[in-house]
Amino acid sequence: MAQQVIKRLIDDLDGTEAEKTVPFSIDGVAYEIDLSADNAKKLLAGLSPFIEHARRAGGPKRRQARATSSRERSADIRAWAKARGIKVNERGRIPATVVEEYERAN
């Protein structure tokens, strides 16, 4: 027997048909609300002045910082290994044994 399941979103504000679920977070608490296109526009319009002056939490800068320090560490390990005659590829993953030797030595 076949079944067809239909999921309908109902706007949480006015009970009309909703078009999407909008996630947002305030004071460290995450929320979701189902809204029609009109109500979603009203929400964004109301938050717009605050969004324009806000900064993103966690964004790419943190990831870049970690990636940069990771790249620098890899470069240090490669240079250390080459100075000791240990063969290491210029790119890609450094063998765990080489990393362990580096950590023991430093």
Taking the domains of the chain in order of start, what are their residue ranges?
Answer: 1-54, 60-105
Top-level CATH class of 1-54? alpha beta
Nearest to 102 by CA among 84, 67, 90, 92: 84
pLDDT score at 37: 95
CATH no. of 60-105:
4.10.320
Q: State pLDDT tens for residues 36-88.
A: 999 999 999 999 999 888 888 765 555 555 555 788 889 999 999 999 999 99
Q: State pLDDT tens for residues 17-35.
A: 999 999 999 888 999 999 9
Residue 9, pLDDT above cutoff 90: yes
